[in-house]
Amino acid sequence: MSDNTSILSIAKRTLETESKAIANLVNLLDEEFAEAVQYILNCHGRVVVSGVGKSAIIASKIVATLNSTGTPAIFMHAADAIHGDLGTVQENDVVVCISKSGNTPEIKALIPLIKLAKNKLIGITGNLNSVLAKQADFTLNTYVDKEACPNNLAPTTSTAAQLAIGDALAICLLELRGFSSSDFAKFHPGGALGKKLYLRVSDIVALNQKPKVNIDSSVKQVIVEISEKMLGVTAVIENEKVVGVVTDGDIRRMLNKYDNINGLTAGDIMTRNPKSVKADTLAVKALEQLQDNGISQLLAFDGEEYAGVVHIHNLINEGIL
């Protein structure tokens, strides 16, 4: 069994090999890459990405990235394409074929069918002398000197390069389309990522109770309100306006300060000028405000109207934190 030093040495060598290959892609970028981006940008169809083996897996990931960043894309396995799935490709689609060697039998069989249908072909390959490179309308060079595999066999560095060039394509298209964070949210409505982009304070406070007491409410009434509403805080109201808050912490400080709490009111123990947030603020921004101030709750306002409370536990439950 190898020791930890040997294991870390292998891991570092692998990452260094792959990182150098990806860095070298910068030197391989040329006008054909830019022309391919321009063609996809102006294409009225989809981007159909195809490959075999490990390249097929990379193709699937590139499709996912394109779809999530505003470029309609679909995956088509090259082997399936020549056995009935070629109907996936529609008239205005552009086809991207990925192959390290550029001479994979399935890719070689697929190329003339794509050309016959008059679809544009983008080749992603590390072999500029290959059938794919010579037949493609645009060739993106992903040459790598060697695989990270010590036998130079397992697709490792080559697939990392393919993935990186796919990301470069997607990000170029994203920026040229002016694809914004709000656009991104439309494609990612589920999970924490989507919520960070669309969930607002108003969505949270609508589900919470709305704690409030009058400025002359007794301490007992304050404690009951905080306990019943289960947010660790209550707004203090005077003349229908919020003038302060009482938190769990204020209650503890009161007990330390006073031996006799009879006769004390909410106004005596409240914190004036409480931290607040607009109801239409993104929840993730509210989280930043909570963290910056080292507090657990914010009062939310819809204009001048007290809308409720957002608690840090709400944000944890929503997966924002």
How do residues 99-155 score in pLDDT, each as one tens digit? 999 999 999 999 999 999 999 999 999 999 999 999 999 999 999 999 999 999 899
Tell which residue, 233, 187, 186, 212, has the closest CA to residue 67. Answer: 187
Q: What is the pLDDT of residues 15-71, one digit of tens each?
A: 999 999 999 999 999 999 999 999 999 999 999 999 999 999 999 999 999 998 999
Pick from 118-127, 163-172, 288-297: least confident: 288-297
Is the domain of 29 the same as that of 122? yes
Q: How many domains does the chain have?
A: 2
Is the domain of 76 the same as that of 9? yes
Is the domain of 171 the same as that of 243? no
Q: Please report, in angstroms and rounded to a whole number, the separation of the first and last CA atoms in the chain.
A: 40
**Would the annotation count 83 as a binding residue?**
no
CATH number at residue 215: 3.10.580.10
pLDDT of residue 187: 67
Residue type, 65: T
In the predicted model, what is the mean pLDDT of residues 228-248? 94
**pLDDT score of 192 more than 70:** no
Tell which residue, 208, 223, 200, 195, has the closest CA to residue 309. Answer: 208
Beta strand 297-302 with 305-311: parallel, antiparallel or unpaired? antiparallel
Is the domain of 19 the same as that of 157? yes
pLDDT of residue 42: 95
Is the domain of 237 the same as that of 173? no
Pick from 7-21, 190-204, 237-251: least confident: 190-204
On whether the CB atoms of residues 130 and 99 are closer than 8 A, the answer is yes
Q: What b-and-e string marks burial along 245-277, b requiring 16 or more CB atoms within 10 Å of the CB?
A: bbbeebbeebeeeeeebeebbbbebbeeebebb
**Distance between alpha carbon 245 and the CA centroid of its chain, in Å?**
36
Tokens, residue 313: 């536990």
Residue type, 168: A
Beta strand 233-238 with 241-247: parallel, antiparallel or unpaired? antiparallel
Is the domain of 135 the same as that of 223? no
User: Residue 193: which pLDDT band, with cuts at 50, 70 and 90?
Assistant: low
Is residue 185 one of the residues assigned to a domain? no
On whether the CB atoms of residues 221 and 241 are closer than 8 A, the answer is no
pLDDT of residue 317: 87
CA distance 269 to 213: 12
pLDDT of residue 186: 67
**pLDDT score of 1 more than 60:** no
Is the domain of 213 the same as that of 290? yes
Q: What residues make up the domain containing 247?
A: 201-317
Tokens, residue 302: 């819809």
Residue type, 14: T
Is residue 193 one of the residues assigned to a domain? no
**pLDDT score of 90 more than 90:** yes
User: Residue 189: which pLDDT band, with cuts at 50, 70 and 90?
Assistant: low
- Please identify which residue in the block is written with the tokens 């997966």: 319
Q: Which of 120, 149, 179 is the last residue of a domain?
A: 179
Phi, psi for 235 (deg, rounded to 5):
-75, 150
Is the domain of 206 the same as that of 152? no
| Paired strand residues for 124 | 98, 140
Is the domain of 160 the same as that of 205? no
Is residue 191 one of the residues assigned to a domain? no
Is residue 190 one of the residues assigned to a domain? no
For 189: left if phi > 0, alpha if psi spans -120 to 50, otherwise beta; the answer is alpha
User: Residue 194: which pLDDT band, with cuts at 50, 70 and 90?
Assistant: low
Is residue 143 one of the residues assigned to a domain? yes
Q: Which of 126, 147, 179 is the last residue of a domain?
A: 179
Is the domain of 207 the same as that of 157? no
Is the domain of 113 the same as that of 245? no
Is the domain of 169 the same as that of 221? no
**pLDDT score of 159 more than 80:** yes
CA distance 307 to 289: 17
pLDDT of residue 171: 96
Phi, psi for 74 (deg, rounded to 5):
-145, 145
* Residues sharing a CB contact under 8 Å with residue 46, sequence separation 6 or more, in sequence order: 72, 73, 74, 90, 93, 94
**pLDDT score of 89 more than 60:** yes
Is residue 189 one of the residues assigned to a domain? no
User: Residue 179: which pLDDT band, with cuts at 50, 70 and 90?
Assistant: confident
